[in-house]
Amino acid sequence: MSKTSPKSPSTLPRYYRRWKWQVLLSFSGFYLFLYLSRFNFWPLEPLIKEDLNLTYVEIGLINALLLWGFGIGDLIHGRLAEAYGLRLWVLLGACLSVLFNWITSFGTSSWTLAIPWGINGFVNAACWSPAISMISQWWPRSERGMALGLVGTAAGGSMLIMWWLTGWIGIEFGWRAGFRFPPLIIIPLVLIFYFLSRDRPTDLGLPEYSELDEVSAKPEELPEEKLKGFGPYRELLTNPEFLLASHVKGLENVVRYGLTTWVPLYYFEAGGYSIESTVLLTTLLPIGYLIAPLIAGLVSDRYLGSARIPLVITSCIVSSIVLIAIALVPPDSVYTGATLLLVGGLSMGLSPLKTLAVDMAGRRMAGTASGILDAHGYAYAGLQAMVFSIILDMTQSRWPLVFLTMAGTRLISILMIARVKA
C-alpha cells in the first residue's frame, strides 16, 4: 500500500493523529472568537434601536440581510473552497469580515447599517463550510460527532464571548465601538490557524482514512467525474432525504436565531430590565449553546453508533416545551427566565444536523453539503427576522405569538426528520 493509500482509522500513523487534532483545535480556537465579527449586532440592538430611532421592521431588515448574506455565502463558498483551497478561503473570509464590521460602524440609518452588514454575512460565511470540509477530511464518521461537536462548543463559546465583550464595550464606549475593536482579535487567530492547518492529509504526504461506515462510504464510491464542477450540487439537491434534513435545519434556525435576535429586546422592553441586566440575563442562552454540542457529539459517536437523528428529535421536543414556557411566563420573572434561556440553549445545542449533513454527503462533498444545509438554515433565519418584526410592529409587541410560532416549527421538525434514514 502506498503512503497515500486509504487506511482504516485505527491503523493511521501517530503523525496523522497529531495533525488531525492540530487542524481541529486550531480552527476551534479561531472560531471561539469569530462571532465578534458576525453576531455582534445582537447585544447592541437596544442601544442602536434607541440611538437611531429604528422600528422593529428596520431591526429585522438589518438582521435578515446578515443572515441571507451568510446563507448565499455558504452556498457558494463551500464548493469554491473545495476547488481552490479550504484554509485560504477561511483566511480571506475572516479578513474581509473585519473590514465590513468597520464599514458598518459608520452607519447612520437602517440602510447604511443593513447593506454593509449583509455583505459582512456573505464574506463571513467563508469561515464555516470550508472549515467543516477541512475537518471532515481528517475525521471519519465514527469520530466526526465529537470533532464537529467541539466546533459547535467553540461556536457556543464564541457566542458567549461576543455577548459579554461586545455588550460591555457597547455600554462603556458606545455601540459603534462594538463593531470596530472586538473583531480585530480574529486577525492574529486566523493567521495562526492558517499556518497550523492543512486542507487534507495528502498535502503532507499522509494517507487518508478509509470510511468504514456504510452511510458515509456510499457517497465516497461516486466516480470522480460526478464530483467535478456543479456535480456535488446535482448529487445533493436531487437527494430527497438530504433536502428534508436541510429544511429541518432551516426550521431549527428560525428558533436559534429567532431567540438570539429577539430575546434581548424582549427582556429589555417587555421585562423592563436595564441594558446591563439584559446582557447578563441573556448570556444564559449562549452558555447553553456552549455546553451541549460536544456532549451531543460524544453521545452520538459512543452510544448511538454515530446516529444523529435521535438527538435532533430530543432537541426539538425539549426546545418546544421551553418556548411555550417563555411565551406564558411573565418576562419580569428573572429566575424563571434565566432557567428557560439556559435550558433553551442546551436543547438547541443538542442538535447535530451539521454532522448529519456531512455523514450523508461524505468527505468529498462535505463543503458543498455544509453550504447547502446552512444556506437553508440562514434563508429561514432571515425570513424569521422579517416575519417576527412585522408581527411585533403590527400587533403592538405581541411577544407570546412570536415564541409560540417558534415552538410550532420545532414540532413540525420532528415529523420531517423522522423521515430521514441515516
pLDDT in tens, 140-155: 999 999 999 999 999 9
- Global pTM value: 0.88
Helix (H, G, I), strand (E, B) or coil at 165: helix
The predicted structure's pLDDT at residue 50: 92
CATH class in words for 11-205+259-417: mainly alpha
User: DSSP H helical segments within 139-239, as ranges?
Assistant: 141-173, 175-180, 186-196, 214-220, 231-237
How far is the C-alpha of 142 from the C-alpha of 138, rounded, in Å?
A: 12
Mean pLDDT by 10 residues, the chain (422 residues): 58 90 97 95 90 92 93 94 94 98 97 97 97 95 94 92 92 96 97 97 92 76 84 94 96 93 86 82 87 95 94 97 94 88 94 95 92 95 90 81 95 96 78
The predicted structure's pLDDT at residue 6: 67
Please identify which residue in the block is written with the cell numbers 492574529: 188
The predicted structure's pLDDT at residue 47: 93
The predicted structure's pLDDT at residue 317: 98
Task: Count how many residues are written for the chain.
Answer: 422
N-terminal to C-terminal alpha carbon distance within the chain: 31
Quote the cell numbers at residue 48. 442602536
How far is the C-alpha of 206 from the C-alpha of 22, rounded, in Å?
A: 14
pLDDT in tens, 375-405: 999 999 999 989 998 888 887 668 899 999 9
Neighbouring C-beta atoms of residue 39, cutoff 10 Å: 24
Helix (H, G, I), strand (E, B) or coil at 209: strand
